[in-house]
Amino acid sequence: MMRKSSSIKKTTETRLPRNRQYIVGVISDTHGLIRPEALRLLERSDVIIHCGDVGSPAVLAALRAIAPVHAVRGNNDKGAWASQLPTEEIVRVGKYNLYVIHDLHELRIEPAAAGFAAVLSGHSHRPHIERREGVLFVNPGSAGPRRFSLPIAAGLLALGTDSCDATVTEF
């Protein structure tokens, strides 16, 4: 069961045909910085999902110049612009439901039981891809300012007619 919260946005459907492959750009933890190499990676995306800690509305504007954008609020997103972002969002792309949350530790649903193809998150700044109970968990890492010795990265989700796969690219 999904928890009830006013900060969970209803399912947002990206109006795309259901019978073809889609590329979903996945980016997180930009903290106000939009890197040219991240934009180059995302330029072939049909949809872009930002997993929180956006940092500024300018980041979302730069991403929207490439493709439609869905974004959630991270723990460092403050101000009036950020309060308009949900803390969690369900995004439907083609036939796939994607669950987006900033901090995976705050996940309060059973993604496999709820029928999600993927859970997309950020927060840790550590790129990670894992499949659990048939659900793809993707953290694209941080595309913002370098933190400690962690890599700068972003990801792509490939949604095929019968597959859901991800890659993370380090810059």
- 1 in any annotated domain: no
- 2 in any annotated domain: no
- Residue in the block written with tokens 């504007």: 61
Average pLDDT, whole number, for the chain?
A: 92
Question: Residue 13: which pLDDT band, with cuts at 50, 70 and 90?
Answer: low
Measured distance CA(73)–CA(138) in Å, rounded: 17
Helix intervals (H) in 16-77:
36-42, 57-64
The mean per-residue pLDDT over the stretch 19-27 comes to 92
Q: Domain residues for 116? A: 8-170
- We report the CATH number of the domain holding residue 48 as 3.60.21.10
What is the Rg, in whole angstroms, of the alpha carbon atoms belonging to the chain?
14
**Phi, psi (deg, nearest 5) at residue 127:** -65, 135
The sheet that has 135-139: what strands, in order across it? Answer: 8-14, 88-93, 96-101, 118-120, 135-139, 128-132
- 162 in any annotated domain: yes
What local confidence, expressed as pLDDT, does residue 4 receive? 37
What local confidence, expressed as pLDDT, does residue 17 receive? 59
- 98 in any annotated domain: yes
Given a cut of 50, whether residue 87 has pLDDT beyond it is yes
Nearest to 86 by CA among 45, 52, 114: 52
- 16 in any annotated domain: yes
Percent of the chain with pLDDT over 90: 87
Given a cut of 90, whether residue 10 has pLDDT beyond it is no
- Whether the Cβ atoms of residue 78 and residue 85 lie closer than 8 Å to each other: no
What local confidence, expressed as pLDDT, does residue 47 receive? 98
24-55 tens-digit pLDDT: 999 999 999 999 999 999 999 999 999 999 99
Question: Residue 20: which pLDDT band, with cuts at 50, 70 and 90?
Answer: confident
Measured distance CA(60)–CA(67) in Å, rounded: 10
- 79 in any annotated domain: yes
129-157 tens-digit pLDDT: 999 999 999 999 999 999 989 999 999 99
Percent of the chain with pLDDT over 70: 89
Structurally, how many domains does the chain consist of? 1
Using the 8-state DSSP alphabet, how is residue 14 labeled? E
pTM of the predicted structure, to 2 decimals? 0.91
What local confidence, expressed as pLDDT, does residue 130 receive? 98
- 126 in any annotated domain: yes
Strands (E), the chain: 8-14, 22-27, 47-50, 69-71, 88-93, 96-101, 118-120, 128-132, 135-139, 153-159, 164-170
- 142 in any annotated domain: yes
